[in-house]
Amino acid sequence: MVEDAILIDRPVDTGDKAGPRRMLQARRAALTVAERMAAADAVADHVAAHAPFNVPGYVAGYWATRAELPLHALQLRLRDDQVWCLPVVQPDGGLMFGPWRQGDPLVSNRYGIPEPDLAASSLLAPQEMALVLLPLLGVDRLGHRLGMGGGYYDRAFAFRRERRPPPFLVGIAYACQAVPALPSDAWDVALDALATENGLRHFERN
| pLDDT grade for 35, boundaries at 50, 70 and 90 | very high
Query: Is the CATH code 3.30.390.10 the one for domain 3-138+152-201?
Result: no
Q: Which residues pair with 99 in a beta bridge?
A: 85
Asked if residue 112 lies in contact with residue 121, where contact means CB atoms within 8 angstroms, the answer is no
| pLDDT grade for 179, boundaries at 50, 70 and 90 | confident
Domain boundaries, the chain: 3-138+152-201
| pLDDT grade for 10, boundaries at 50, 70 and 90 | very low
Please tell me the pTM assigned to this model.
0.87
Angle at 88 between CA 87 and CA 92, to 5 degrees: 130
Q: Which pLDDT score, from 0 to 100, does residue 185 have?
A: 78
Least confident segment among 6-20, 40-54, 143-157, 159-173: 6-20
Tell whether the model's pLDDT for residue 159 goes beyond 90: yes
pLDDT in tens, 102-114: 999 999 998 899 9
Higher pLDDT, 150 or 153: 153
Tell whether the model's pLDDT for residue 3 goes beyond 80: no
| pLDDT grade for 20, boundaries at 50, 70 and 90 | confident
| pLDDT grade for 123, boundaries at 50, 70 and 90 | very high
| pLDDT grade for 206, boundaries at 50, 70 and 90 | low
**3-class SS letters over the chain:** CCHHHHCCCCCCCCCCCHHHHHHHHHHHHCCCHHHHHHHHHHHHHHHHCCHHHHCCEEEECCCCCCCCCCCHHHHCCCCCCEEEEEEEECCCCCEEEEECCCCCCEEECCCCCEEECCCHHHCECHHHEEEEEECCCEECCCCCEECCCCCHHHHHCHHHHCCCCCCEEEEECCHHHECCCCCCCCCCCCCCEEEECCEEEECCCC
The pLDDT > 70 percentage for the chain reads 92
